[in-house]
Structure 1
């Protein structure tokens, strides 16, 4: 049921201080060597803090027992609440076992009576002996995760996927431990809170399971904002109330409006209940054989990435841990994050922030790849796990899709099993029933991918699209495959900035290669995929370039994966596209190196993040080459307000001399998409795409920009290069000056010739936007963000991929 943020008479004390841990042999009692331990936290986190562990080093905790101890004091009856114990654990109080748990995803409430000081101990049993003892085999083998016994144990697959993830054991009280006492007349056991949008009105209903210990139970009230309604006793231990809120401000994803949240409170007599905040929205899956979402009646192109963890060592769940990452999600224009089945359920703070920031969440239940058991004890545990998760996010408007898990159906199909064996009761009935019972307002998808004649077919249902990417298909495949919704796509070994992996030379050092993602058993890795597109798009031999110009190789490698992503999303967002969403695999790296993440493990955006930020603008201009039909200009406005703009088209010879310039005032209606043939802007024929080949082209680049008609501020721009990504290096006349304003440092950039993939190298600062193209005759003002607290004055170089030399800049203290 919904979270109870506070209840009069209820005290919740975090048991977060004074814990110690000790590692022991399986079945043995610890005799010494206790370490201070953070709670919530993991054993690996404690060892790291003590200087005894570094990410990447072997850590054999799954062959050991780990004991935690705490001196606990209190008086009277209370509840010990364990929000998550990873994974096979026992809890002992004064030598008496009070709890046994076999799932890191279940919460446990244990009633106890305290009288003074007590010894609280938690022992986390070695996982490997448990896995070896599991009987039964799945119907198919799984190479991406192991060992096979994980199919029957409820723990995260993070740390068990050697193709891309360090082997970090998730062991310990990874979620809070609390002491709960009740001393008021009202005891609330659960709250069922439902917020819906009916037309333009909000409706909120509340059912409380509660007991009143006084005389006659007093009446109560339910309140949303300034609107109040009665909360009545409808039977022993039950209260119900209902509010209709005319013309309520709805919750929107941030691309489409304001993510409005409304405080919900209730009271029974003098006892008050804080139910937090909720939002009123309507999310529906469009009918048909594809997959598309409508939010409040409007179709939303869902774009974003798949989430891993803010820190794979500690698996944190605090607001401070999530906020910087989710701010980068919002800044990139991402409207959706998928929490995949190989990860872990995130804490309440994650959903609170997504609610506030207007970020939709596609939530997998934590199942992936395996053929899972069908015995009732296992399925009963799954029901409890799902129910507890859905209850605590019941009031969250950001929850947009619930999915049974990841790649289980695909795994069976790809290994050649008969069609009738692709499905599992876990996904088709157990999880579906829990989702429909507790969050009927959220669409449910049985598995990701699913929906077509094959689960991974791109032109039906949801797909994991790696045509452009691991399958080395040309960029045109993004259109040819008729992708409907890609819940995973575009996985590359995204090159981080120089120095991201200190002391390790890029690419061929074994320490570097050990961190490059790969499918286990495959004779290639995802740097090979990146090199393929570097070769085909830029016309270079990656091996020769790496040998002769390693710095040039690294810069082009950083740029090329973002170029591919921009091209694909331009196809998917264009007018007439069949696609309703794409989620890049993945958002953040789990350790330093050329991982799948578009943000590195330190929270620094890579070139691909900047490319996605341009691709995901809610007010957007896109260019597509339509063959002999010429260049198509696609104008998008996802916002609720009309946009008045000046559209300018410029064709440049050698990136400098305009051979065509045309302007048109345009209006982009709210929630609109329109296509304008570029040929309609000119008063004469010019072969903008080089399709007709009437002699050498008169130009090599086309720039289309949308700007504010009053201020001239740029809203969006797009570039089409007749030579594709291939480029000649030249003297550009790239200029840079540093300015200081009240809000901080800025870099003002200009160029005589079109500059491609501009990026900054500065030990103290990074650009808020980088890896963009800059047309001649305009200035771009870039905010500089300090990399560390000691950054004082900007001092660095500006590079362009088609420039001969960088441009130096330095601020004035």
Structure 2
């Protein structure tokens, strides 16, 4: 049986001064052995040794820039091999990035790709006893700059050379991330000892036959020793209770086995059914029986995946079909959860993805400027029914197609397709992020003047790799991509679209101007929670444009865009607390405007993928969950927007209509009470409006003129309730009451519509009563009862305690209505503290820092 021995202990790290020593390096570091963790990286090792200040705090990032420009060497000792085995391999699942590997002074090989694994035969080197191992890393900058010099400049959306080296692109900084160029043994290192043969690769092609039989066609690649080449072998494959056995002839290296599972239980995305997973095991042995030589184990799921791109009256579709059912994808974009990926543990993956699932998400797009994530990520997605859209790792730049990059990219693609294809959650391979768009619309074509830029990867190499290796899944050339060079890549009527004119140049009301077939990126920025800012920044007082705040705002003119985004809606904030609240609120409202509009146009629009779910450090960004894992108001809004049932008031050709979006399987048959209400709370008109939406469908109904004929638009608004006339929202044990006056509680939904901007509306000064009561150890209930209209009331839990959280977000109250938040992690509840942590649109006059 093959024996795996992890190489996680006994490593040291040293600064390699053979070429140069960066001026910023701490005095005396050269020649000093620093304890190192494997898996790990140089930055985290230096921080653990007290030699580098946390680059996430204040402006320490600048002081850490030298680390990425230096060369580093990791050193440990390999054990003597066990003579009972014919072969000993040194295996690295990931080296970041440009390295030379030496054992006993002998060069085993050189690496230049973070996204590949490496295997070296060290059988003879470990025969006589332990041997020193050195992994010498050259700065990724050096590699990238040498390739750039050899191949010439290529267009790039950022000023760093990430497109010349196969490394996590966002290590070099992004408009939400710091520039911290890492190096290190970033995935497991181990010694594998084996005899005769081993399983080199296992590729399960999982399909479902018309009669419901689950079919797993398993392609197995073998690696044999010299003595094992002429031996007959035996393979046994099992899926659940079904199995098959096959004899492998001497010298044979690739075989295919088929396991059939009658009446296979189907894997479904969350919200559409269950996620049954079947254990899949492949065992390699001698034909003579005895102990197994090698074993491969994963979990698989039976389902069919289709990408419908058929032409219709609107253009051409982009609709995912799972088990024949069309899905409106309720998605989020995923970036690496930490700039130092080795700090992202399986528990952290589970926590973050659980947050996504609890927000109604059913699709996670792994963005192309990051990494192919750890197996733990995909395992959780399998279990939770989170569909995975996996980008190949190209983003926002022209990528040369010459050597040495081309062979690295093909090897990387083939390995990662094989590694990830067992996961039923993986539903789509995507060639790149925004590079086809950049070539067509960002003047790359003129700049390149005929130089290679990646088209051969996206339209040639990668679809070929997927077709040859993982033919059960669809491939799409890029995002955005319209499917043809006959039209612009970001044509909203075809394929995938990215909506970035909104935020960069236009107000979010412009979301309403188009109905893309699939919105793969859109979003709006906001700062993180106040407690996150106070932890990361030592400057006081905090202001929107203080040095630390601006350093933790990486978008070009980011604060300018935040402020210009407020201007059409609100009066200019005069204090930091109000600015912070309004920018977070504006983020939630912007996303709501887009998702409500696009969902209301299902099936023409078949998905929205919010940019972005998560942050990799404390920063002002588009994320719903900030860098300290605190939930921004956008998160709670996403939970409402991505619920199975969504009630919204929309404009159709100048007329207001009530729309019910039903993503559930059951019919939604309801009657909504629609009221036109004055700013003082007086009901001016009302009507009962019937809605009936079949499962997975959208229904709409016109609103009577008696309701929609506003008198003074500055003093009247609409409220639609499917619950009648509620007086109390929220529940001590439920987080169903949601956001913005558009809420769900006890099965009811609310939608509101204000016909003019907040800055023009005649709001009364918010007046409400606040009651606080303990609710178990460290928890409390905060109940607010409104005396007036209170628009977008938000309880910022982190102002109560840095560890406190609430169960829901913003809510609009009518006079006499109540809302209850449950606050966890608040050991000393206090009504005055709760009042100070409450913000609303018509209660922002108080100065609260």
Alignment partner of 1:687 out of 682, 707, 722:
707
Instruction: Tell me: CA distance 1:417–1:556, structure 2 relative to 1, closer, same or farther (3 Å).
Output: closer
Cα shift readout 1:195-242 (whole Å, capped 9, x = no counterpart): 11334442222233448969996866433333x132222644455432
Q: Give the structure 1 partner of residue 165 of structure 2.
A: 153
C-alpha distance in 2, partners of 1:644/1:576? Answer: 18
Which residue of 2 is the match for residue 529 of structure 1? 561
| Distance apart, 1:768 and its partner CA | 2.4
2:552 paired residue among 492, 515, 518: 515
Establish whether residue 792 from structure 1 lines up as the match of residue 827 from structure 2. Answer: yes
Q: Distance in 1 between matches of 2:152 and 2:507?
A: 33
User: Which residue in the other structure is 1:230 paired with?
Assistant: 244
Structure 2 match to 1:19: 11
Match of 2:810?
771
1:652–1:659 Cα contact (<8 Å) kept: yes
Q: CA deviation at 1:576?
A: 5.3
Distance in 2, Cα, partners of 1:663 & 1:737:
36
Could you tell me which of 719, 732, 743 is aligned with 2:767?
732
Contact 1:748 1:781 in 2 (8 A): yes
Shift in CA distance, 741/127, structure 1 to aligned 2, threshold 3 Å: closer
Distance in 1 of aligned mates of 2:454 and 2:116:
25
Aligned length: 769
2:33 is aligned to 34
Report the equivalent of 1:255. Answer: 271
Q: Distance in 2 between matches of 1:794 and 1:51?
A: 38
Q: Hey, what's the Cα distance between the residues in 1 that align with 2:666 and 2:777?
A: 30
Matched, 1:562 2:588: yes
Mapped partners of 1:104, 1:428: distance in 2: 23
Tell whether the 8 Å contact from 2:674 to 2:707 is kept in structure 1 after alignment. no
CA distance in 2, matches of 1:776, 1:235: 81
Instruction: Call closer, same or farther: CA 1:31–1:708 in 2, change over 3 Å.
Output: same
Aligned mate of 1:171, from 183, 189, 196: 183
Question: Displacement, 1:457?
Answer: 2.9
> Which secondary structure state, in structure 2, belongs to the residue aligned with residue 553 of structure 1?
helix
For the pair 1:428 / 2:441, whether they are aligned, the reply is no
1:64 and 1:174 map into 2 onto residues whose CA distance is: 17
1:426/1:666 CA distance change after superposition, 3 Å:
closer
In structure 1, which of residues 777, 780, 801 is the aligned counterpart of residue 840 of structure 2?
Answer: 801
The alignment partner of 1:98 has SS state of: strand
CA displacement, residues 44-102 of structure 1 (integer Å, 9 cap, x when unaligned):
11112223222123331343220111122242332211011111101111111112111
Displacement of 1:396 after TM fit?
0.8
Q: Report the 3-state secondary structure (helix = DSSP H, G, I; strand = E; otherwise coil) of the residue aligned with 1:560.
A: helix
- C-alpha distance after superposition, 1:598-634 (max 9, x if no partner): 221111111222222211112222221336533x222
Residues 552 and 108 of structure 1: is their aligned pair in 2 closer, same or farther, counting only changes over 3 Å? same
Write out per-residue CA displacement over residues 657-699 of structure 1, whole angstroms, 9 at most, x where no aligned residue.
44455567866543232223343xxxxx5233x4xx5567884
Among 301, 325, 330, the residue aligned to 1:298: 325
Aligned residues of 2:528 and 2:627 also touching (Cα < 8 A): no
Q: Distance in 2 between matches of 1:49 and 1:576?
A: 51
Q: Secondary structure of the equivalent of 2:416?
A: helix
Deviates more, 1:357-366 or 1:478-487: 478-487
Contact 2:675 / 2:707 at 8 angstroms: preserved in 1?
A: no
1:566 Cα deviation (Å)? Answer: 0.3
- Residue 770 of structure 1 and its aligned partner are, at CA, apart by 1.3
Q: CA deviation at 1:433?
A: 0.8
1:357 aligns with 2:384: yes
Task: Say which of 368, 372, 380 aligns to 2:395.
Answer: 368
Report matched runs for 1:348-497 at 5 Å: 348-375=375-402, 377-416=404-443, 424-451=455-482, 453-473=487-507, 475=509, 477-497=510-530
Q: State the partner residue of 1:610.
A: 636
Aligned partner of 1:639 in structure 2 is: 664
The CA deviation at 1:745 is: 4.8
The verdict on how the C-alpha distance between 1:782 and 1:232 changes in structure 2, with shifts beyond 3 A counting, is farther
1-structure distance, mates of 2:653, 2:569:
18
Kept in 2, the 8 Å contact 1:516–1:593? The answer is: yes
Q: Is the 8 A contact 2:790 2:840 kept in 1?
A: yes
Change (3 A) 1:423 1:313: closer
Are residues 1:280 and 2:302 paired? yes
Is the 1:138–1:371 Cα contact (8 Å) retained in structure 2? no
Which of the numbers 751, 756, 760 marks the counterpart of 2:786? 751
Query: Cα distance 1:498–1:652, how it changes in 2: closer, same or farther (>3 A)?
Result: farther
Asked whether the 8 Å contact 2:102–2:134 carries over to 1, the reply is yes
Q: Could you tell which deviates more after superposition, 306-315 or 357-366?
A: 306-315
Q: CA RMSD in A?
A: 3.3
Superposition TM-score, scaled by structure 2 size: 0.83
Deviates more, 1:217-226 or 1:335-344: 217-226
| Structure 1 equivalent of residue 720 of structure 2 | 703
User: Counterparts of 1:329 and 1:708 in 2: how far apart (Å)?
Assistant: 32
Contact 2:246 2:257 in 1 (8 A): yes
Asked if the contact 1:26–1:64 (Cα under 8 Å) also holds between the matched residues in 2, the reply is no
1:204, 1:242 within 8 Å by CA — same for their partners in 2?
Answer: yes
Aligned counterparts of 2:844 and 2:568: Cα–Cα separation in 1? 25
Matches within 5 A, 1:127-276: 127-134=140-147, 135-138=149-152, 140-147=154-161, 150-161=162-173, 163-182=175-194, 187-199=198-210, 200-210=212-222, 221-226=236-241, 228-233=242-247, 235-236=249-250, 237=252, 240-267=256-283, 271=292, 273-276=295-298
Question: Does structure 2 conserve the Cα–Cα contact (< 8 Å) formed by 1:78 and 1:179?
Answer: yes
Residue deviations 1:728-783 (CA, integer Å, cap 9, x gap)? 25243344443526996544454344433232241141212112334556554444
Instruction: Quickly say closer, same or farther: Cα 1:218–1:23, change in 2 above 3 A.
Output: closer
SS at match of 2:595: helix
Counterpart position of 1:653: 678
Cα separation, 2, equivalents of 1:775 and 1:13? 65
SS of the residue corresponding to residue 622 of structure 2 reads coil
SS of the aligned residue for 2:578 comes to helix
Contact map agreement 1:65 1:123 (CA 8 A) in 2: yes
Residues 698 and 123 from structure 1, CA distance in 2 versus in 1: closer, same or farther, beyond 3 angstroms?
closer
Who is 2:70 aligned against?
64
> 2:70, 2:780 → 1: CA distance?
52
Cα deviation, residue 265, structure 1: 2.7
Distance 1:696 1:94 in 2: 81
| Cα contact 2:666–2:695 (8 A) shared by 1 | yes
Number of the residue aligned with 1:98: 108
Out of 755, 759, 771, the position equivalent to 1:722 is 755
Structure-1 separation of matches of 2:263 and 2:367: 36
Shift of residue 481, structure 1, vs aligned partner: 2.6
Match of 1:622 in 2: 648
Compute the displacement of 1:392 (Å): 0.8
Distance 1:299 1:138 in 2: 45
2:58: which partner in 1?
A: none
Taking the aligned partners of 2:569 and 2:422, their CA distance within structure 1 comes to 47
Aligned partners of 2:678, 2:64: CA distance in 1, in Å?
Answer: 57
Match of 1:6 in 2: none
**1:470·1:491 contact (CA, 8 Å) conserved in 2?**
no
Residue in 1 that maps onto 2:698: 673
Correspondence for 1:85 among 82, 95, 98: 95
What CA distance in whole angstroms lies between the structure 2 residues aligned with 1:743 and 1:265?
46
Of 83-92 and 603-612, the range deviating more from structure 2:
603-612
CA distance in structure 1 between the aligned counterparts of 2:326 and 2:505, rounded to whole angstroms: 30
1:192 partner SS: strand
Report 1:42-61 matches (<5 A). 42-53=41-52, 54-55=54-55, 56=61, 57-61=63-67
TM-score scaled by length of structure 1: 0.87
Return the offset for 1:28.
8.0
Cα distance in structure 1, aligned partners of 2:724 and 2:778? 24
Equivalent in the alignment of 1:571: 597
Secondary structure, aligned partner of 1:12: strand
The answer to whether the 8 Å contact 1:619/1:715 transfers is no
**Alpha-carbon offset, residue 722 of structure 1:** 3.0
